[in-house]
Amino acid sequence: MEALEAIFTRRSIRSYRDEAIADETMQLLLKAAMSGPSCVNARDWSFIVVHDREMLNKMADANGRPAEPLRSAAAAVMVCGDLNRSFPPAKDYWVIDGAIAAQNIVLAAHALGLGSVWLGTWPQKERVEAQAKLFGLPESIVPHSVIALGYPLKESAERDVFESDRVHMEKW
Amino acid sequence: MEALEAIFTRRSIRSYRDEAIADETMQLLLKAAMSGPSCVNARDWSFIVVHDREMLNKMADANGRPAEPLRSAAAAVMVCGDLNRSFPPAKDYWVIDGAIAAQNIVLAAHALGLGSVWLGTWPQKERVEAQAKLFGLPESIVPHSVIALGYPLKESAERDVFESDRVHMEKW
């Protein structure tokens, strides 16, 4: 799939076929995640890949009502920030670096025929804490977002997203 | 360009040819920016597009030493968060939504033959304040990142970014 087509036709997919994701496909998603820029190339993230059904259900419990798609997802990637690696003068860049990695996963998934939905974790403290507890994370590793993945039940079409009043030319 | 190729071969480009960016190309970048997911579809961003050389230089002054590429860039897009639109129970999702929009711009630019470099603004308060002052932004509009854009002086090659020790299977 062409890059622009992938960007323009990506939609959040919450219903999946009962079909596994091949290891080579998951590897491409993780390579995509690690291909984005990060602040001073700190690469201040880590990824937890989950296929286990019981664990996916526990991740859904930990991540609030919008995380229900995890219960039928083939897999999930939890993107985490790694505060030990983040840029010391402005550590909060980890939030941006994690988002870049997660968006690369979402786009690569779509290009490979997978559906995904981005499930927000940070900055909702109760979700961050529940995921950290579930995985027994060290303090320096902060749950950022969960990407639920699976082959989509149906095709999705591009929609019109352009809003000209959001664009300011040369000045505000 | 294929989506995966675009993701894998994107590099930060800081030197540009003296060549303008067509309006239709810029339009595609902005459409890409608006095609990403956002928290509860809040679409809590706005974009300031700048071609004016004097203004690009002032943006460089406002954004610290890494922003020097703006002085030879053909254009820049400043991604801003719009706090009036952000998700009330957890407004900080605006940081993630802005990063998604910016990463879509970076990938679309690369797919269209443009080079770009992501110049961090938030969370560095002095940069945020300097850009807000330069553009006279209302309080609800927060500078997030500046993307410098231009046709690259030279081709860039894919590099090996995969680090297996950043991947945790099924558990931490």
Q: Are B168 and A48 in contact (CB < 8 Å)?
A: yes
Q: Is the pTM of this model over 0.95?
A: yes
Give helix B93-111 / helix B23-33 axis angle, nearest 10°.
140
Which residues, 6+ apart, have CB-to-CB distance to B112 below 8 Å?
Answer: A4, B25, B28, B29
CA atoms of B74 and A92, how far apart (whole Å): 29
* CA nearest neighbour of B147 among B113, B111, B121, B112: B121
CA atoms of B143 and B153, how far apart (whole Å): 28
Note the residue count of chain B: 172
Q: Are B35 and A90 in contact (CB < 8 Å)?
A: no
CA atoms of A128 and A137, how far apart (whole Å): 11
B37 to chain A: which residues are within 8 Å by CB? 10, 12, 106, 117-118
Q: Are B7 and A37 in contact (CB < 8 Å)?
A: no
For residue A166 the two structure tokens come to: 């959001």
By C-alpha distance, the chain A residue nearest B108 is A4
Q: Are A8 and B35 in contact (CB < 8 Å)?
A: yes
Which residue intervals of chain A are DSSP H helices? 3-9, 23-33, 53-62, 93-111, 125-135
Which residue intervals of B23-164 are DSSP H helices? 23-33, 53-62, 93-111, 125-135
HSE value, Cβ hemisphere, 13 Å, CA-based, for A75? 24
- First-residue to last-residue Cα distance in chain B: 36
Amino acid identity of residue A70, one-letter, is L
CB atoms within 10 A of CB A79: 27
pLDDT in tens, B60-118: 999 999 999 999 999 999 999 999 999 999 999 999 999 999 999 999 999 999 999 99
pLDDT in tens, B109-148: 999 999 999 999 999 999 999 999 999 999 999 999 999 9
For residue A19 the two structure tokens come to: 């079909």
Domains in chain B, please, with CATH? 3-154 (3.40.109.10)
* Nearest neighbour of A172 by CB, restricted to B12, B93, B136: B136
Element holding A82 (H helix, E strand): strand A75-82
CA A112-A116-A119 angle, to 5 degrees, is 150
* Probe site for chain B from A2, A4, A125, A144 (most B CB atoms < 10 A): A4
* Cα R_g (chain A), whole angstroms: 16
For residue B170 the two structure tokens come to: 């099924």
CB atoms within 10 A of CB A130: 19
Cβ B149 vs Cβ B114: under 8 Å: yes
Q: What percent of chain A lies above the pLDDT cut of 90?
A: 96
pLDDT in tens, A78-129: 999 999 999 999 999 999 999 999 999 999 999 999 999 999 999 999 999 9
* ipTM of the complex model: 0.97
The answer to whether residue B159 neighbours chain A at the CB level (below 8 Å) is no
